[in-house]
Amino acid sequence: MIEPYGLIVILLGLIMAAYTFKEFYRKRIGTIPFIIWTIIWIALISTGVYPQLYLGLASSLGMAAPIQFVTTFSIMILFAIVYQIFRTVGDINRKITKIVQQLALEKTEVKMDQ
């Protein structure tokens, strides 16, 4: 019997998996991110379909219910994603700065040559 929580998780997982596939199909994400995200969505969906799979794992980690395991695991993943986004934004910012500075200098040189 699937719990209401399970239904929400399955629905969310399926929507996100479909969205991820669409992004991969349109070549907006690479193969490795596609595989990683697909694994994450499958893991999420399976917590809704087979909650008993996580019972043993949750109890061995001292957690009362699979939902605690899922929540804790999800928060950990979210922290990792936020960190990755933070790094990416920093990298993009540095690249934009370099491009804008280079453009400014090149434009000035062109003006001087004319």
Site membership for other proteins, residue 92 (CB under 8 A): no
Mark 50-89 with x for binding to other proteins (rule: CB under 8 A) and - for no binding: ----------------------------------------
Measured between alpha carbons, how far is 45 from 59 in angstroms, rounded to an integer? 20
Residue 50 is given by DSSP the state -
Site membership for other proteins, residue 93 (CB under 8 A): yes
CB 66 within 8 A of CB 51: yes
Site membership for other proteins, residue 108 (CB under 8 A): yes
Interacting span for other proteins (CB under 8 A) from 5-13, 56-64, 74-82, 101-109: 101-109
Helix (H, G, I), strand (E, B) or coil at 26: coil
10 Å Cβ neighbour count for 101? 10
Q: In sequence order, which residues have a C-beta less than 8 Å from that of residue 35 and are 6 or more positions away?
A: none
Q: Which residues bind other proteins (CB under 8 A)?
A: 93-94, 96-97, 100-101, 103-105, 107-109
